[in-house]
């Protein structure tokens, strides 16, 4: 019978950043930890570094001295896999290679007791495939931690086709006891995070390819308007383009070349050049001592328009109207499409069409669009796009209006869906598909994206706030603009909208 009681023995195979982090968390939680690496000096060094980490935590008052000493004493380097014989749980954190993982678990299966649970920390390889050669694949489960393990709360508990539900339950409960935020997922390409996160990079790369703005400006828009901790380009530079591009290619191939996951030729060029990001000193940005941090584009000061009219009914518009009231405007309500109207300019939240296309469809040449804001009341920046037909006077009036409300105004070229809106729509679409295909629950995907990659809001909760009707319209308009299956709407989004056209949601209010 499987069990992982408090104080039981946990073996960790691999002492790199992930393995050492897992060992630290397990020891802190009260387990006897056996750390193995084919390089004995590497395991010794890992334990030494964990001890230094404990000392720093004590110095900062975040860990007691006695607690630190006891945790350090629970860490033991072992010289042979044979010494894992009495373990209740073995967690593998070795190289991302299917054959290597299969060989390791086949050897472990001949050593550990029948009660022992086997876990793989793989980030992308099928748990089903890893366990297929085992005599008892039901005891193999994915336990995907995120780096740095002691700080990142998320653990994806991944079930292969043969994984026992009892095993998955035990590992889920164990992760909770370790202070983590575990989520359940089926073994499908990318699991939750590495699948759902792809549009954050993919849409940014496409925006850059289409010259919507430079990298510094697009990063600033995603941070200042979208609330993301890091912009996509600085994040890719941090991850490393070799790693990020490899994951994208892996997911693309695993989904049989689904265009939704198509890799970018821009990133391919960076990898080919050896410009891998921070670790090589150059990626989208330069990181040498002489390199200056590029500033995002911000529009020059413009004159404040004398009057404002508005048509409500859309949350984003209503929130901006309230901010403009606070800036001294006394907007007059009118009957029109939800938006802001000043000095001839008609200003709307992007719906996935370009401003130029909307201007032509509406018969209003002076059309300006604004991008999605996570927090309209507190955002420091707003992104605008003008129709090609829009006159300079109307454009300047729109810029002056938002500047008067305290926004730094950034102009994006007139690409469909702008930046934050199209990214959120695609993130929500991919999350919806993951739920629709039984990979995880709506709650799990939102927890995973917030706890695993620090998104400001779960993509499905964010889509609820924007309105599923608007998100579906954005995706449909992107599909029409590009003529690509990449932007096809998830069947689950369409189903929810059909069932409740006015109030469709993923989460209860």
Round to whole Å and give the CA distance between 341 and 327.
16
| The two three-digit tokens of residue 296, written as one number | 């995002």
> Of the residues 126, 187, 194, 490, which is catalytic?
194
Per this entry, what is the length of the chain? Answer: 509
> Of the residues 31, 68, 109, 156, which is catalytic?
156
DSSP, res 286: B
Is 194 catalytic? The answer is yes
Point out which residues pair with 90 in neighbouring strands: 11, 118
| The two three-digit tokens of residue 361, written as one number | 């469809």
Per-residue CA distances from 92 to 45, 100, 102, 104, 361 (Å): 18, 11, 11, 8, 57
Point out which residues pair with 347 in neighbouring strands: 340, 368
> Of the residues 31, 144, 241, 470, which is catalytic?
144
> Of the residues 15, 68, 123, 477, which is catalytic?
123
Is 357 catalytic? The answer is no
Is 147 catalytic? The answer is no
Collapsed DSSP state (helix, strand, coil) of residue 36: strand
Is 302 catalytic? The answer is no
Report the 3 state secondary structure along 45-105: HHHHHHHHHHHHHHHCCCCCHHHHHHHHHCEEEECCHHHHCCCCEEEECCCCCHHHHHHHH
**Listing from the earlier edge strand, what are the strands of the sheet with 140-145?**
75-78, 32-36, 9-13, 89-92, 117-120, 140-145, 154-159, 181-186
* Cβ proximity of 34 and 76 under 8 Å: yes
Would you please indicate which residues are annotated as catalytic (active-site) residues? 123, 144, 156, 194
């Amino acid at each position: 019978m499987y069990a992982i009681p408090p104080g039981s023995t946990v073996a960790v195979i691999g002492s790199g950043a992930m393995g050492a982090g897992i060992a630290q968390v397990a020891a802190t939680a009260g387990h006897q930890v056996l750390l193995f690496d084919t390089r004995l000096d590497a395991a010794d060094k890992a334990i030494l570094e964990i001890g230094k980490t404990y000392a720093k935590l004590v110095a900062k008052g975040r860990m007691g001295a006695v607690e630190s000493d006891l945790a350090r004493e629970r860490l033991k380097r072992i010289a042979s896999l044979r010494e894992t014989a009495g373990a209740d749980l073995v967690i593998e954190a070795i190289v991302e290679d299917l054959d290597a993982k299969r060989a390791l678990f086949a050897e472990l299966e001949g050593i550990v007791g029948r009660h022992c649970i086997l876990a793989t920390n793989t980030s992308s390889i099928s748990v089903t495939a890893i366990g297929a050669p085992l005599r008892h694949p039901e005891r193999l489960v994915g336990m995907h931690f995120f780096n740095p393990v002691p700080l990142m709360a998320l653990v994806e508990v991944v079930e292969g086709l043969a994984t026992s539900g009892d095993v998955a339950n035990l590992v889920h409960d164990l992760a909770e006891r370790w202070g983590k935020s575990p989520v359940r997922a089926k073994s499908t390409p990318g699991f939750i995070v590495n699948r759902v996160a792809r549009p954050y990079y993919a849409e940014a790369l496409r925006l850059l390819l289409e010259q919507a703005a430079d990298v510094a400006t697009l990063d600033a828009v995603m941070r200042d308007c979208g609330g993301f901790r890091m912009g996509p380009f600085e994040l890719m530079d941090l991850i490393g383009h070799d790693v990020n591009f490899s994951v994208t290619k892996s997911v693309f191939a695993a989904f049989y070349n689904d265009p939704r996951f198509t890799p970018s030729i821009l990133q391919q060029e960076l990898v080919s050049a050896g410009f891998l990001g921070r670790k090589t000193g150059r990626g989208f940005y330069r990181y040498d001592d002489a390199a200056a941090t590029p500033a995002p584009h911000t529009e020059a000061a413009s004159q404040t328009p004398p009057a404002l009219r508005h048509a409500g009914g859309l949350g984003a518009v209503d929130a901006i109207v309230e901010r403009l009231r606070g800036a001294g405007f006394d907007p007059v309500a009118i009957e029109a499409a939800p938006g802001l109207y000043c000095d001839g300019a008609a200003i709307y939240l992007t719906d996935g069409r370009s401003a130029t296309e909307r201007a032509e469809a509406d018969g209003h040449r002076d059309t300006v669009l604004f991008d999605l804001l996570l927090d309209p009341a507190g955002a420091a920046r707003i992104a605008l796009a003008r129709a090609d037909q829009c006159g300079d006077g109307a454009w300047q009036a729109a810029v002056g209006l938002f500047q008067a409300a305290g926004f730094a105004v950034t102009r994006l070229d007139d690409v469909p869906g702008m930046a934050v809106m199209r990214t959120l729509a695609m993130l929500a679409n991919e999350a919806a598909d993951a739920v629709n295909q039984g990979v995880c629950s709506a709650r799990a995907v939102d927890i995973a994206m917030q706890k695993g990659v620090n998104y400001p809001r779960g993509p499905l909760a964010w889509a609820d706030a924007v309105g599923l009707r608007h998100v579906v319209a954005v995706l449909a308009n992107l599909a029409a603009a590009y003529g690509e299956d990449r932007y096809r709407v998830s069947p689950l989004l369409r189903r929810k909208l059909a069932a409740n056209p006015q109030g469709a949601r993923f989460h209860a209010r």
